[in-house]
Amino acid sequence: MMFFVLLLISANTYTSYRMFKSDGYETLQKVFQFVMIWCIPFIGMFMVLFFLNDVYSSTTGYSGNSGAETGYDDGCSGGSCD
């Protein structure tokens, strides 16, 4: 039982740390998620980790395209540069 409690505390601490270091949320969202992590231990922790991974992948993902989807075109499409 003690191992289970220590595991839960460690997982919640890790999730709280990642959430506060994330730039994908405003301060009020971070406070709400912190309360959710510690008041609803397993469900809150997994929900926040899921959304952290989703926010991280959508803000730092590299698509390898010419910028058409992002609006940042390099100006060299079709082999000719402007």
14-36 pLDDT, tens per residue? 989 998 888 888 999 999 888 88
Band (pLDDT 50/70/90 cuts) for residue 6 is very high
Residue 34 inside a domain? The answer is yes
Q: Report the pLDDT value the prediction gives residue 71, as an integer from 0 to 100.
A: 57
Range of the domain at 45: 1-56
Q: What is the DSSP letter of 11?
A: H
Task: Decide: 8 and 41 in contact? Cβ < 8 Å.
Answer: yes
Does residue 77 form part of some domain?
no
Contacts of 16 (CB under 8 A, 6+ apart): 34, 37, 38
> Is the residue at 3 inside a domain?
yes
Is residue 43 one of the residues assigned to a domain? yes
State pTM to two decimals.
Answer: 0.55
Q: Domain total for the chain?
A: 1
Between 12 and 56, the higher pLDDT residue: 12
Backbone φ, ψ for residue 4 (5° rounding):
-60, -45
Of 77 and 24, which is predicted with more confidence?
24
Average pLDDT in the 27-50 region? 85
Asked whether residue 23 is assigned to any structural domain, the reply reads yes
Residue 5, in any domain of the structure: yes
Residue 29 counted as domain residue? yes
